[in-house]
Every structure is written in structure tokens, then in C-alpha cells.
Structure 1
Amino acid sequence: MRKSNLPENAVGMRIDKWLWAARFFKTRSIAKNAIEGGKVHHDGDRVKVSKEVRLGMELTIQQGIEKKTVVIKELSDVRGPAPVAQKLYEETADSIARREAFASQRKLHNLARPDHRPSKKDRRDIHKFKQENDQMFDQSWAYHDD
């Protein structure tokens, strides 16, 4: 990993650069878009791209369907290997427990999947079933003048 360009006495840096260096996002522009889209929070509030992060700050980062709450342990403005990047932060115990519970829920819901793709006949039957149910639903909710 390259040596950081941060001065020895640096107390903060831009959040988009830190998220990129900590490998939460592949590029700084993706990190910027996530921040602008409200996917990154500090103390429950959305942050701006130019927000300065400091050691000990707690961030909530949403990536896809997962949310992580991390505490900043180190600052770096260079992107290095994943093991080095993981030393920049520590995920909170609540966050880990919440993610594991959510993962187990997802696994339970995926057990109901069929073990094969529907055939052409199966697809026709599904389509017919949906059309019949949609028509029944529409008729039951239709507005009638009496």
C-alpha cells in the first residue's frame, strides 16, 4: 500500500475519499452518488460529500439491501488492499447482529423457490391464473352507480 498523503497532524478528511479508501465503494464518484442519494448517515442525519470525517465518528452506510454501522479507526486517502482497508473501521456489534439476522431471514424466504424453471405450459398456466385473478380483483373493486 502506498504511503498516505495525509499530514501527520491531520484530524479529518472528505467522507467520499475515506469511503473509497475503505473500499465501501469502487470509485469516488460512486461514493459521491451514494452520499447524495442519502445512503450515508452520521448521527442519523444525511451527510454531504464534503463532510469531514474524523477518528471515532460513527457512520451508517447502506449498500444494496445491507446497512452497516461502522466506527472510523484510521484515516487514509489512498486505496489499498482489502485487509489494510478493513483496519480503517470497525463494524459495531449491533450492526453485525442486525445483518446476520437479516441474512438468516433472507435464507428462510429463499427456501420456497422451485427446483426447476417453469416450462412453456407452466408459464401459460401462470399467466392464465394471473389474468383470471386480476379480473376478479378489478371486478370486486369496481365502482358501481346504483
Structure 2
Amino acid sequence: MSPAEQRSTTQARVDSWTWAVRLFKTRSAAAEACRAGHVRVNGVTVKPAQQVKLGDEIRIRHAGLERIVIVERIIHKRVGPPVAATCLIDRSPPPPSKEVIASLPRRDRGAGRPTKRERRDTDRLMGRSD
């Protein structure tokens, strides 16, 4: 087996691997998340071509939530959900409860930017002080 073939079984591109294990719907979405700085490997923001190997920790910020996964198996092609689940260890924190989400202040869609008074009121409700 040539060194390139050995490397392909022990390493994969981060965008390709995250797409293959179904963390993203498309490979281009995975690459875009990497370019935007939403993907970190072992605590370092990475580009799409960054190689991942067994045991690497991948953190993904997606839709306001953080996914934390450990690379358990290297794959290059997209696989079914049962197989994809065996390729990673999910260490993500549980999503916030519906009560917590409902208690967060939200602006009506299309209401525009908050005024200074509205921002101060929101900060007071959230318990923030500057």
C-alpha cells in the first residue's frame, strides 16, 4: 500500500468527513461553515481542506447550537444514518428546554433594529449591566 493510500484511510478532509457522517446536508454547506469559522478541530478554526484523524474533536456551531463530536472512524463517502452514527462519538450538550427558549425575548420579524430604550430594557430583563 502506498503512503498516499495509507493516509487516505487514516485521514480525511474536515468538510468531506462532516458531510459523510451527516452533520451537514451538502459538502458545499460543510465547506462554507469551515470558511465562515464555524468549525473547529481540536480547538482551532480550520479551512475545509484541513485533515482530520481518529480521536480529533470537532466543534460545529450550527443554527445557534454547538455540536461536539469525536472522530471514531474515517470515511470519505456519505453513508446511511446507522453507519454514520458508528463513525463518531457525540459529546454535544443537550439542547435547551422549550421553557428556556420561550422565556428568551424575541423581536417580531420585520420590526427593525431595536431603539436604545428597547435595548436597555432587554438588557435589564436579561440581567446584564455595563
Q: TM-score, normalised by structure 1?
A: 0.62
Alpha-carbon deviations, 1:44-78, whole Å to 9, x = none?
21011110010100111111111011110011111
Q: Quickly say closer, same or farther: Cα 1:111–1:20, change in 2 above 3 A.
A: same
User: Structure 2 CA distance, aligned partners of 1:112 and 1:41?
Assistant: 27
Q: Give aligned-pair identity as a percent.
A: 29
Give 1:107 deviation, angstroms.
2.5
Aligned to 1:11: 10
Aligned to 1:141: none
Aligned counterpart in structure 1 of residue 102 of structure 2, from 107, 110, 118: 110
Matched, 1:27 2:26: yes
User: Structure 1 CA distance, aligned partners of 2:52 and 2:103?
Assistant: 42
User: Structure 2 CA distance, aligned partners of 1:111 and 1:88?
Assistant: 36
User: Structure 2 CA distance, aligned partners of 1:110 and 1:77?
Assistant: 40
User: Structure 2 CA distance, aligned partners of 1:109 and 1:74?
Assistant: 35
Q: Quickly say closer, same or farther: Cα 1:75–1:110, change in 2 above 3 A.
A: same
Aligned to 1:52: 51
Aligned to 1:63: 62
Amino acid at match of 1:107: E
Q: Secondary structure at 1:49's aligned position in 2?
A: coil
Amino acid at match of 1:79: R
Q: TM-score, normalised by structure 2?
A: 0.69
| Cα RMSD (Å) | 2.6
User: Structure 2 CA distance, aligned partners of 1:52 and 1:64?
Assistant: 24
